[in-house]
């Protein structure tokens, strides 16, 4: 009997079989199960078409019906259920399909695996052997697989970075020959894979293949700055998040603005905000070492990222614990912690029109409290305002 998370998902498999359809776990979840690593998502392939899946289950989300894919919700968990593919990896409505057809259209042998609800593995292309030998091979012709979807070139590099596997020579040669086809892909798809590439536990292996294939010459920013990637050391450790990557390369070459990186890679405003925070903190540290304002402005969630970028960019070691302990010792952790706010100031000066002066005063109070020149006490702060800022009157 399979353990979690398959135990919960077995309901989907057994239900589909009760209605006369084939159904299997497929792809990455089977690969990760065999490699004994954490399974994040469970994908299911079935002979049932989307319209039948919709009839069978109560909660079905039609995320990609044209491609034969729906999301089935069960016990507050989402499962991607896809009708068997054929004909160059496309779902063909009203055609006879099999698990063999489906697996033969997948990218790499390590992903071309299926498993039934009892844990029986279907391995038509020696994927288990390739997992054991730690090698990435395409299912069938590398030329066909990479031409069908050039993103697979980047996915191969991502799997190297993720698992530390090598790439079969035939596949590697084809990747090099077809890498110009990456230009046909949407930036969003490229970014999604490269984010995973840069956080891989074996990033140094992946970087080696990235340099060998020169795939970086097809990536945003790097294609116009071909030497930039070589600023990463050969023994590079994994990044924690994509904002670290952008921060590091921006610091290396500040002629390429943060906005250029954000726009070229089409990343979120969250990544932009993190990058700005990290770059500001590293530049502050470079000029002033660890200081109160750096600690105050650095987002707590970015402490480890800050430490990593400082080490990579400045070759300086800082311990996370040092930053955390000093940050915790600050008088306040954010402006919300101040004992006074804009309303308190307005009440002190009811005759004055509200404006930018309130924000300026709050900023000054914030610094006075941070540097412990005045305590964070409402009455004391009010007295300080009245005594030291008579010009407001």
Report yes or no: 295 and 326 within 8 Å, Cβ to Cβ. Answer: yes
Q: What is the pLDDT of residues 99-154, one digit of tens each?
A: 999 999 999 999 999 999 999 999 999 999 999 999 999 999 999 999 999 999 99
- Enumerate the β-bridge partners of residue 23: 46
Give the pLDDT band (50/70/90) at residue 91. low
pLDDT at 386: 86
Could you tell me what percent of the chain has a pLDDT over 90?
87
Determine the Cα–Cα distance for residues 187 and 191; give it in Å rounded to an integer: 6
pLDDT at 67: 82
- Enumerate the β-bridge partners of residue 71: 61, 80
Give the pLDDT band (50/70/90) at residue 351. confident
Determine if the peptide bond prior to 5 is cis (ω within 30°).
Answer: yes
Q: Which tokens in the block code for residue 101?
A: 């057809």
pLDDT at 387: 85
Neighbours of 198 (CB within 10 A): 21
pLDDT at 44: 96
Whether 392 has a pLDDT exceeding 90, the answer reads no
Name the least confident of 10-19, 78-87, 203-212, 368-377: 78-87
What value, to the nearest 5°, has the Cα angle with vertex 162 and ends 206 and 224?
A: 40
Whether 59 has a pLDDT exceeding 70, the answer reads yes
Determine the Cα–Cα distance for residues 303 and 136; give it in Å rounded to an integer: 35
List of residues 6+ apart from 309 with CB closer than 8 A: 244, 247, 248, 251, 278, 282
In the numeric block, the tokens 């930018």 are attached to 356
In the numeric block, the tokens 């070691």 are attached to 317
Determine the Cα–Cα distance for residues 93 and 95; give it in Å rounded to an integer: 6
DSSP H helical ranges for the chain: 6-18, 28-34, 50-56, 99-104, 127-132, 142-148, 151-163, 169-178, 187-198, 203-213, 242-252, 258-265, 269-288, 292-297, 303-314, 320-328, 342-348, 356-370, 378-388
What value, to the nearest 5°, has the Cα angle with vertex 313 and ends 307 and 314?
A: 80
Coil vs helix vs strand at 166: strand
Q: What is the pLDDT of residues 266-298, one digit of tens each?
A: 999 999 999 999 999 999 999 999 999 999 999
List of residues 6+ apart from 143 with CB closer than 8 A: 174, 178
User: How confident is the model over 17-43, as a mean pLDDT?
Assistant: 94
The model carries a pTM of 0.90
Determine the Cα–Cα distance for residues 338 and 317; give it in Å rounded to an integer: 33
Q: Among residues 111, 114, 213, which one has the least CA distance to residue 157?
A: 213
Whether 74 has a pLDDT exceeding 70, the answer reads yes
Neighbours of 252 (CB within 10 A): 14
Average confidence score pLDDT of the chain? 93
pLDDT at 92: 58
Whether 391 has a pLDDT exceeding 70, the answer reads no
pLDDT at 24: 97
Could you tell me what percent of the chain has a pLDDT over 70?
96
Report yes or no: 76 and 107 within 8 Å, Cβ to Cβ. Answer: no
Name the least confident of 46-50, 59-63, 138-142, 322-326: 59-63
Determine the Cα–Cα distance for residues 82 and 71; give it in Å rounded to an integer: 9
pLDDT at 72: 95
pLDDT at 66: 79
Q: Among residues 152, 159, 151, 245, which one has the least CA distance to residue 198?
A: 245
Report yes or no: 382 and 345 within 8 Å, Cβ to Cβ. Answer: no
Q: Which tokens in the block code for residue 344?
A: 């308190």
């Amino acid at each position: 009997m399979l353990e979690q998370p398959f135990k919960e998902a077995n309901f989907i498999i057994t239900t589909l079989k009760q209605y006369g359809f084939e159904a299997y776990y497929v792809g990455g979840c089977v690969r990760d199960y065999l490699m004994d690593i954490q399974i994040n998502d469970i994908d299911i392939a079935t002979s049932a078409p989307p319209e039948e899946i919709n009839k069978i289950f109560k909660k079905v989300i039609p995320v990609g019906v044209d491609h034969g894919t729906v999301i089935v919700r069960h016990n507050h968990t989402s499962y991607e259920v896809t009708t068997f593919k054929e004909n160059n990896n496309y779902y063909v409505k009203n055609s006879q399909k099999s698990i063999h057809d489906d697996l033969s259209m997948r990218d790499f042998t390590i992903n071309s695996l299926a498993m039934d609800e009892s844990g029986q593995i279907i391995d038509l292309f020696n994927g288990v052997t390739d997992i054991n030998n730690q090698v990435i091979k395409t299912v069938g012709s590398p030329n066909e697989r990479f031409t069908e979807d050039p993103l697979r070139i980047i996915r191969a590099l991502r799997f190297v970075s993720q698992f530390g596997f090598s790439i079969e020579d035939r596949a590697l040669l084809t990747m090099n020959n077809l890498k110009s086809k990456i230009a046909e892909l949407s930036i969003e798809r490229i970014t999604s894979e490269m984010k995973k590439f840069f956080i891989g536990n074996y990033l140094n292996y992946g970087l080696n293949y990235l340099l060998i294939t020169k795939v970086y010459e097809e990536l945003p920013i790097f294609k116009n700055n071909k030497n930039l990637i070589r600023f990463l050391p050969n023994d590079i450790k994994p990044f924690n998040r994509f904002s670290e990557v952008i921060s590091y390369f921006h610091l290396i070459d500040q002629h390429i603005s943060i906005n250029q990186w954000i726009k070229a890679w089409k990343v979120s405003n969250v990544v932009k905000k993190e990058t700005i925070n990290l770059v500001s903190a590293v530049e502050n540290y470079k000029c002033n070492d660890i200081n109160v304002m750096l600690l105050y402005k650095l987002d707590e969630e970015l402490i480890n990222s800050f430490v990593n970028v400082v080490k990579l960019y400045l070759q300086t070691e800082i311990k996370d614990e040092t930053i955390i302990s000093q940050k915790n010792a600050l008088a306040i952790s954010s402006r919300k912690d101040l004992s006074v706010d804009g309303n308190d100031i307005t009440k002190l000066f009811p005759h004055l029109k509200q404006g930018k002066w309130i924000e300026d005063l709050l900023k000054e109070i914030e610094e006075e409290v941070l540097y412990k020149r005045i305590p964070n006490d409402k009455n004391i702060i009010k007295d300080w305002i009245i005594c030291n800022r008579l010009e407001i009157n």
